[in-house]
Chain A
Amino acid sequence: MSVTRDRPVISKVLHQELMDLLARDKRMDGRALHEFRKMEVETGMLKKAEGSALVSVGGTKVLAGIKVDLGSPFPDTPNQGVLTVNAELLPLASPTFEAGPPDERSIALARYVDRSIRESKAIDLEALALQPGKMVQVLYIDIYVLDYNGNMTDTAVLAAVKALENTNLKRYTLEGDTPTFNGETVPLALKDYPISTTFGIIGEKFFLDPNLEEEHAAEGFMSYTYTQEGNLCAVMKNEQGYLSPSQIFDMLDVGWEKAQEISRAMNWRKD
């Protein structure tokens, strides 16, 4: 059951200032209309995880941890390893997050990160099948939102990809039917680096990477995830509100520009 959530109250004064600035293509924190906040990436800090990354976009901090285990494949994909994504909106990250089972927002976030990675074919799932039909490697991506200040979507996708980039898989030898760890690890080789760009929408205006105040004021959001080649592997309109078809197309183009910039910053593109 999905129920309308109460929106945090923004003062009318703040709302008006935001609208006035937007009308002039300006934002409250001085950024350009389509400028990301400062991004910081740290990888490999969790020693018990097979891969990890901590990404900050402005004041939003997301930690992604990768755990790899052995398990059975899904019946309809016997030759593939298993990828599963979970997200936790920690109560310490925001007054609007509560402890308890995953709520609809964390599920939607996890599923979006999952689609971004899975549909871009960033991971060669077939390479994770040790014994097709019987034993495969299971990749758990756990997204931990530590500090929520707007746009956890892009931050989470980047954290997940960076954590995967940083992941080492155990190598196994098969003795009869039992796989045993042979002591070696090999880096998980990513075949793509999907990048998500999210826009806030207010009326006719849209702007990249909304911060917390902008999120409270926004009517709706659009997220686009691009592969390195510029194809789309996941798209999501989030929250209430609506947008025009022309806005959808404009954001598509701006998003691709920005995704390429991030690619360069992450050294995934050399041009």
Chain B
Amino acid sequence: MTEGKTKLIDENGLRTDGRRPDELRPIRIELGYLKHADGSVLYEQGKCKILVAVFGPSEVHPKHIELPDRAILKVRYHMAPFSVDERKSPAPSRREMELSMVVRNALEPIVITELFPRTVVEIFIEILQADGGTRVAGLTAAALALADAGIPLRGLVAGCAVGKADGTMVLDLNDIEDKEGDADMPIAYIPTMNKVSLLQMDGLLTRDEFRQGISMAINGSMRTYALQAAALKSKYSLPENQEKEEM
């Protein structure tokens, strides 16, 4: 977190991109974007562009890492070299390794892995364009791709990152707020279970600001979840609660 001279909140209380502190960036969801993947999505949140593909469940290679009583997940969070201002080397960085693990840990609770033991579900998250909050946006997209693949899930998980910019708690950080703000707190939330499966904080917050941030982030996650559900239902043109009779 560098000392920035940028004014993150202007005199009208608006952020660098014109948003109010509790406003989410626009989200665009295109399910089934890749034809050969079992499930996929092209997910955009503000200037973040993320492609997620899901494969499986399939046989595990090498065989010795399979688990006898459940499926294993393989998650790759990766940033494309052209996704950031200064070209990033394609080799996995320490940050990408940590985030791959953190995202996997956030997805494990929702996938009903006990249903297909000795298999693997692979989830590839490619950040094509990064602008803050990529791990939670990637995670939100991964949940969509898993549902698109027909992998049985206990529920959907949606994520949101909050931060502190010029003393104000802000929802859905963009890149400059992430880099020059005082805190970055990503959260992933399962609305149908009221549970948090990802939580990290980096920066300096009072305990009250932390509490406030959690509530804000959960609220943001719920709004994101509504968009996830709507996208899934509309892709398959599902009317609400249609009873199917003809068989």
Contact = CB atoms under 8 A, between A and B. Distances in A.
Nearest to A111: B98
SS class of chain A's interface: helix, strand, loop or mixed? mixed
Interface residues of A, number: 42
A130 to B, nearest CB: 20
Nearest to B110: A242
B108 A231 contact: no
B2 A76 contact: yes
Nearest to A256: B207
Contact of A243 (B74, B195, B204): B195
A234 B207 contact: no
Contacts of A105: 101
B215 to A, nearest CB: 8
A32 interface: no
B198 A237 contact: yes
B205 A237 contact: no
Interface stretch (B44-52, B65-73, B126-134, B226-234): B65-73
A231 B214 contact: no
A245 B196 contact: yes
The interface residues of chain B, by DSSP majority, are classed as mixed
B136 interface: no
A24 B109 CA distance: 26
Nearest to B72: A4
Interface string B70-102: 001111110000000000000010110110111
Given A2-B76, A4-B67, A77-B2, A119 B204 contact: yes
24 contacts: A1-B76, A2-B74, A2-B77, A2-B100, A3-B74, A4-B72, A4-B113, A76-B2, A107-B94, A230-B206, A230-B207, A232-B204, A235-B199, A235-B210, A237-B200, A240-B108, A241-B197, A243-B195, A244-B194, A245-B214, A245-B218, A249-B214, A252-B207, A256-B207
Interface of A: 1-4, 6, 76-77, 102, 104-105, 107-108, 110-111, 115, 119-121, 220, 222, 227, 230-245, 248-249, 252-253, 256
